[in-house]
Amino acid sequence: MSKIIVTGAAGFVGSHLVETLLRQGETVIAIDEFNDYYDPILKRKNIAHLHSIPGFTLIEGDMQFFDWQTLLKDVDVVYHQAAQAGVRASWGQSFRAYTERNINATQILLEAAKDAKHLKRLVFASSSSVYGDAETLPTHEGICPLPVSPYGITKLASELLCGQYYKNFGVPFVSLRYFTVYGPRQRPDMAFHKFFKSILQDEAIPIYGDGQQTREFTFISDIVAANLAAATAPGAVGEILNIGGGSTVVLAEVLQTIEEIVGKPIKRNHIDKAMGDARHTSADVSKAQKILAYQPQVPLPEGLTQEWEWIKSLY
């Protein structure tokens, strides 16, 4: 049995990860700050059902001020999911939150990890945002990253820090570049959550730009499977891996699928293109297939149906 830390444990990905690990009988220290980037009540809901499962400990607070030496003492794996998320919100006054919660917090964790004798793996949640407007689609990990948002820049900086702590101190990191994650517990600032909520309340859906942008959508259970594999696969240490869902779809087509799921036409409200949004994202996951035996399982219509059921129960 392993002892595991999950940062950002009450968030979208973190809460699913903690739940899966606990169900596998692991001991999990869940860490979350419950900051107000979105309603903390939603985050508390995400993990409310976990308190009764044996092996679960919750530590609340800003991870920049923890005693990591002590926390990491007999920990085998850290899943570092905590971050200030959101591409569009990363401009302007709020940028400091991104440098603090993405770069500084990661550096503090890495600094302690270099002295953690027990630590076998540190799995870092990165983002397809590091690629920006990639010239090659689907995009492989060898492409030069050129983020187009301040958020993407902080995720890339954190990833580079992981690489330096691996090279210089042997910190056994693996970086997973998530491509648009969706499913139950998705953050309220993310597209599908906003779409389904608008439909439920009979409001028009906000569409950025012309609706012809494409995205690689990855269902939450596939993201969890990739994390678990990254923590154990022998060849994964020091690697950066794309994690995509195997379906690259034009937004306009997604809306048709959503209409079929909800059984009624959607009102659309076209607004200006958002600063910092990449036009197209598409993942080449052949490296993750090779190293992690990663194979996305959930097709978009099935995943969207699951998210719709959750949204209906939430509101």
Nearest-angstrom CA–CA distance, 44 and 51:
11
Residue 138 in domain: yes
Q: Cβ distance 61 to 33 under 8 Å?
A: yes
Sequence-distant (≥ 6) Cβ neighbours of residue 191 within 8 angstroms = none
Does residue 211 form part of some domain? no
CATH number, domain containing residue 117: 3.40.50.720
Specify the pLDDT at position 11.
98
151 is catalytic: yes
Please, which residues bridge with residue 173 across strands? 122
Asked whether residue 304 is assigned to any structural domain, the reply reads: no
Q: Where in the sequence is the domain holding 23, given as residue range(s)?
A: 3-181+219-244+282-296
Q: What is the pLDDT of residue 273?
A: 83
Mean pLDDT of 129-153: 96
The answer as to whether 8 is a domain residue is yes
pLDDT value of residue 40: 97
- Residue 239 predicted with pLDDT over 90: yes
Percent of the chain with pLDDT over 70: 100
pLDDT band of 18, cuts 50, 70, 90? very high
> pLDDT for 248-296, tens place per residue?
999 999 999 999 999 999 999 999 888 889 999 999 999 999 999 999 9
Q: For residues 270 and 83, give the distance between their C-alpha atoms in angstroms, rounded to a whole number.
A: 29
Average pLDDT over residues 94-112: 97
Q: Say yes or no to pLDDT of 100 above 80.
A: yes
6: which strand partners? Answer: 30, 79
Q: Give the count of domains, the chain.
A: 1
What confidence score (pLDDT) does residue 276 get? 87
Asked if residue 1 has pLDDT above 80, the reply is: no
Residue 73 vs residues 68, 77, 82: alpha-carbon distances, Å: 8, 11, 20
Q: Is residue 307 part of a domain?
A: no
Please report the pLDDT score of residue 261 as a whole number: 98
Please indicate, yes or no, if residue 60 is contained in any of the structural domains. Answer: yes
Q: What is the mean pLDDT of the chain?
A: 96
Catalytic choice (98, 151, 165, 294) = 151
Which pLDDT band holds residue 90 (cuts at 50, 70, 90)? very high
Q: What is the pLDDT of residues 36-60, one digit of tens each?
A: 999 999 999 999 999 999 999 999 9
pLDDT at site 247: 84
pLDDT of residue 108: 98
Provide the whole-model pTM. Answer: 0.98
Mean pLDDT of 120-141: 97
Residue 204 lies in a domain: no
Confirm whether 240 is domain-assigned. yes
Q: Is 201 exposed, middle or buried (0-12, 13-18, 19+ CB in 10 A)?
A: exposed
